Structure 1
Amino acid sequence: MVRGIRGAVTVEQNNSAEMVQATERLIAEMIEKNNIDPETVCSAFISATDDLDAMFPARALRELKGWEYVPVMCMQELAINGGLEKCIRIMMHVNTDKAQKDIQHVYLDGAVVLRPDLQQSTK
């Protein structure tokens, strides 16, 4: 069955190097915590807030060996007054036998405020 695995991370500055590094770190932790093989991934949606326009965050996923054929779509996050700034979010759709309660969503850095009820990461 298909399950959604969520992740989010914030960056300090709108620059390619920091965005790639943060996105790579987020993806790596999502993979590790959920034992994800790219062959089981149906697709991934990656959004960034409107204050991040230095690069497409999907580039970080594309650079991972074995992930070249995973369908990925980048989009802009809704601009909501008071919303979290400089945030990259990922929704990965994965074929898995895990129950919803066993999926480990990952929120790093300033993004921990998004879903403290699901928080399992200490970063």
Structure 2
Amino acid sequence: MKHPVDIHVGKRVRHRRWMLGVTQQQLGNKVGIKFQQIQKYETGMNRISASRLWDIAEALDVPVSFFFEGFDKSEGEIEAQIESAVPKGQQGDLLSDKEALDLVRSYYAIPENQRRKLFDLARVLSASA
């Protein structure tokens, strides 16, 4: 049976990998394992050992603590927050949607002053919808 911590850590690995535009194969090569093992880690099917998590953190340029961020809340509370923020029919694991991650990646590639204006525009448009 999958442990909630393993699932959470795996999701954080996947999200960080996607944010950097790194494939499972590329990450596997960086840490010296096959991409199938990365798949198992990301789904929570296999637990990530401390030393392997250290290697993955270095490869993804984050501290090990990054993978545990957000776990202090109950999974039900997190899902309720997402469901209340996302329109019906578009719910689920929002960050598992590649289109959403591409949008976030593109958003952060915009210079900060322009990004702020875009953010303000999006808030106005969403409020009028």
Q: Which has the higher contact order (CA 8 A, sep 6+)?
A: 1
Do the structures match in fold with TM over 0.5?
no
TM norm structure 2: 0.29
Choose 1 or 2 for highest CA Rg.
Answer: 2
**More strand per residue:** 1
More helix by proportion, 1 or 2? Answer: 2
